[in-house]
Amino acid sequence: MDNRAEVSAFLKSRRGKITPEQAGLPAYGRRRVPGLRRVEVAMLAGVSVEYYTRLERGNLGGVSDSVLDALAKALRLDDTERDHLHALARAANARPARVRRPKKTAVRPSVLRIINGLHDQPAYVRNNRMDILAANALSRALYGEVLEQKPANTCRYAFLDPRATRLFPEWERVARDAVGALRVEVAKSPYDRELSNLIGELSTRSDAFRTLWGAHDVHAFTDGVKRFHHPVVGEMELVHESLDLPGDEGLSITIHSADPGTPASDALQLLAAWAASQDRSTAVTQDDTEN
């Protein structure tokens, strides 16, 4: 990824989203474009117009954390956006020769035991490219359509599989969050060739992805609520938590759950029973074949 282009587009997009009124500035005259002017951002951040212009052209080389924080405050960035700006600055100041392509990481047996021990909660392990590397039985039942892909990738499924709009009733939000999460990962791993290839593929094959990618919004997966419409058990609203794995850079566990006694909890129990029946049916078929 071109770091300078990423920095420039991100800063311009954030500047364009803030009105003078939101920044506490008087609005004089008619503006040709929405958002703040460069001179206004520079004033709010306490830097010269020339220096801010250099930053917005994508040159974050040597910029201090204090300047980045002042810029984040001037642009009213949220925590995820501020962290993204700092990640872009770290990438700009890194020596390409020292940046290595991330190694493919196998899921440790202890982590597999953790997710497989969650019998009533769908859980899976993913990498920074949104590939699902391992999933427990209930997660395989929930994400069966996604796992048909090789490799199984939630972003590729969301944008390239027409069934995604059925599985995710709030597809627009799911898609926007997925693109925002990839933006975050690009800043952290600008030399990850497989990540770049995924973004290139989705940009080429999906108009929706290309439009969302051009917005330069960012998103961090932590916790929240996601709605599903499963082809077998119907609609359910599940809480999700995403936890980074210490010692396994780029890997995280996502766990879905439902409050006891809710319709979603009942749907999860039904899904578990259906998954178990599928496993028994497969086992019987294999026995018949062997006999």
**How many alpha carbons fall within 13 Å on the CB side of residue 127?**
18
Question: Nearest to residue 251, comparing CAs of 121, 114, 119, 97?
Answer: 114
How much is the mean pLDDT over the chain?
89
Distance from C-alpha of 114 to C-alpha of 128, rounded to nearest angstrom: 20
Share of the chain above pLDDT 90, in %: 74
For residue 145, give the amino acid letter.
E
Report the range of poorest mean pLDDT among 37-51, 103-117, 196-210: 103-117
Task: Tell me what pLDDT residue 25 has.
Answer: 86
Is 153 strand, coil or helix? Answer: strand
CATH classification of the domain holding 54: 1.10.260.40
Distance from C-alpha of 291 to C-alpha of 287, rounded to nearest angstrom: 6
Instruction: List the structure tokens of 34.
Output: 């929405």
Burial (CB < 10 A; 0-12, 13-18, 19+), residue 62, is exposed
pLDDT band at 223 (very low <50, low <70, confident <90, very high): confident
* Boundary residue ending a domain (30, 63, 98): 98
Instruction: List the structure tokens of 256.
Output: 């879905």
Distance from C-alpha of 62 to C-alpha of 101, rounded to nearest angstrom: 24
- Size (the chain), residues: 291
Look at residue 291 and tell me if it is in a domain.
no
Task: Tell me what pLDDT residue 189 has.
Answer: 86
Task: Tell me what pLDDT residue 1 has.
Answer: 62
Residue 117 and residue 230 in one domain: yes
Residue 72 and residue 201 in one domain: no
Residue 62 and residue 137 in one domain: no
pLDDT at 37 over 50: yes
Higher-scoring residue by pLDDT: 20, 41: 41
Residue 70 and residue 41 in one domain: yes
Please tell me whether the peptide bond between 231 and the residue prior to it is cis, using omega within 30 degrees of 0: no
Contacts within 8 Å (CB) and 24+ apart, 124-127: 124/253, 124/254, 125/245, 125/251, 125/252, 125/253, 125/254, 126/154, 126/251, 126/252, 126/254, 127/250, 127/251
Higher-scoring residue by pLDDT: 2, 133: 133
- Could you tell me the pTM of the whole model? 0.85
E strand segments, the chain: 123-126, 132-135, 223-230, 234-244, 252-257
* Boundary residue ending a domain (98, 126, 148): 98
Domain residue limits at 158? 109-286
What one-character DSSP code corresponds to residue 230?
E
CATH classification of the domain holding 128: 3.30.450.180
Look at residue 103 and tell me if it is in a domain.
no
For residue 123, give the amino acid letter.
A
Residue 150 and residue 275 in one domain: yes
Task: Tell me what pLDDT residue 96 has.
Answer: 60
Residue 88 and residue 113 in one domain: no
Instruction: List the structure tokens of 170.
Output: 């709030």
Residue 84 and residue 133 in one domain: no
* Boundary residue ending a domain (98, 132, 155): 98
Residue 230 and residue 167 in one domain: yes
Residue 69 and residue 161 in one domain: no
User: In what helix (H) or strand (E) does residue 284 lie, and over which residues does it extend?
Assistant: helix 263-290
Residue 140 and residue 240 in one domain: yes
pLDDT at 291 over 60: no
pLDDT at 3 over 90: no
Instruction: List the structure tokens of 180.
Output: 């925002």
Task: Tell me what pLDDT residue 284 has.
Answer: 41
Residue 89 and residue 113 in one domain: no
Task: Tell me what pLDDT residue 290 has.
Answer: 52
Query: How many structural domains is the chain composed of?
Result: 2
pLDDT digits (tens, 9 = 90+) for 146-165: 999 888 999 999 999 999 99
Look at residue 220 and tell me if it is in a domain.
yes
pLDDT at 283 over 50: no
